[in-house]
Amino acid sequence: MSDVGALGDPALEDALTGLARRRTVLVASDLDGALAEFTRDPADTVPAPGAMLALRGLARLPGTSVAVVSGRDAATLAELTGVRPGDPVALVGSHGAESSVAGVTAQRLDDGQRALLDELTTTVAELIERHRGARLERKRAAVAVHTRGLSDDAEQAALEEAVGLGEGRDDVRVLRGKSVVELSVSHADKGSALLALARVVGAESVFYSGDDVTDEDAFRVLPAADGHVTVKVGDGGTAAEHRVPSVGALVVVVRRLLALRSDLAPGAR
Ligand SMILES: O=P(O)(O)OC[C@H]1O[C@H](O[C@H]2O[C@H](CO)[C@@H](O)[C@H](O)[C@H]2O)[C@H](O)[C@@H](O)[C@@H]1O
């Protein structure tokens, strides 16, 4: 029985087989909560065992482009994944505002955005002082309030206040995630970035997996009817076509795709 067969999901197995036969594909995934387990301190994150190896294996196959797409900024993403300049694995950071691939999404912050981000960071630092245990993460285009590990009430209070800082403003995008609220001065989204990346690398079909709210932007623009394969990791409502229960199960899926595409990709053998 195949790995995916062991997960008991023949529909996903069929979808992966169909994708593996395509001439050109883009295989992309979110990082935190998808390719990597959550950690209390975001700096402690490491990709799950075998995850990057499977992606690198896919990137070596003909007609196969690979990317990690994350809310992390590009520099942090490179550090966490070990992807270096010239690597065949592409990186898309800051929810689509940064990319290692030319022509995808290189949104430079203007002076006004930089000043706004500084101002937001100061306000969030004050918020953190009032909410014991909450933590600040400064990114290239955003500042985030983290609450993982706090009690439910404490989390809710800090996150609600963070949302209030950006709500109703056209110049700030409020992104709610898992135990995190992010105030971004960029209006990029993962869906637009993935479509741009697919166009640039010439991929006819896309595989995309993710676990969080911002991944829904990607799932929505990748319909199964157009040959795309979308996989939600974990619980919660989703526009994705398929679902797996955990990070470990997603790694099994990516490895399965590697095995199938190694056999079935036009020109692979
Ligand atoms: O798009 P992603 O790759 O899923 O990134 C989303 C956010 O991930 C990080 O926060 C999440 O993971 C942390 C480490 O496991 C965890 O402590 C936190 O509770 C999660 O929300 C990252 O810190 C954020 O910048 C990303 O936007």
Q: What is the per-residue pLDDT across 80-102, written as a single tens digit (0 to 9) for each?
A: 999 999 899 999 999 999 999 98
Q: What is the per-residue pLDDT across 42-77, written as a single tens digit (0 to 9) for each?
A: 999 999 999 999 999 999 999 999 999 999 999 999
**CA 238 to CA 102: how far, in whole Å?**
30
According to the CATH classification, is domain 2-106+188-264 in 3.40.50.1000?
yes
Q: Please give the CATH topology (third level) of the domain spanning 111-184.
A: Alpha-Beta Plaits (3.30.70)
Residue of 37, 150, 180 with the most ligand 1 atoms within 8 Å of its CB, for mutation: 180
pLDDT at 1 exceeding the cut of 80? no
Residue in this structure with the two tokens 């991929």, named with its chain if needed: 203
Q: Any residues with CB less than 8 A from the CB of 202 and at least 6 apart, and which?
A: 24
- C-alpha of residue 146 to centroid of ligand 1, in Å: 9
Torsion over CA: 225, 226, 227, 230 (sign): negative
Q: What integer pLDDT is reported at residue 5 of this predicted model?
A: 53
Global pTM value: 0.94
Tell me what the mean pLDDT of segment 123-150 comes to: 96
Active-site residues: which are they?
A: 30
- C-alpha of residue 162 to centroid of ligand 1, in Å: 16
Q: What integer pLDDT is reported at residue 131 of this predicted model?
A: 97
**CA 266 to CA 81: how far, in whole Å?**
29
Residue 262 identity: S
Contact 231, 209 (CB under 8 A): yes
pLDDT at 268 exceeding the cut of 90? no
Domain limits, the chain: 2-106+188-264, 111-184
- C-alpha of residue 72 to centroid of ligand 1, in Å: 7
> Number of C-alpha atoms within 13 angstroms, CB side, residue 108?
2
**CA 233 to CA 63: how far, in whole Å?**
26
The two three-digit tokens of residue 43, written as one number: 């700096």
Q: What is the per-residue pLDDT across 247-263, written as a single tens digit (0 to 9) for each?
A: 999 999 999 999 999 99
**CA 52 to CA 35: how far, in whole Å?**
8
- The residue whose CA is least distant from atom 26 of ligand 1 is 71
> Number of C-alpha atoms within 13 angstroms, CB side, residue 153?
0
Q: How confident is the model at residue 222 (pLDDT cuts 50, 70, 90)?
A: very high
Contact 163, 176 (CB under 8 A): yes
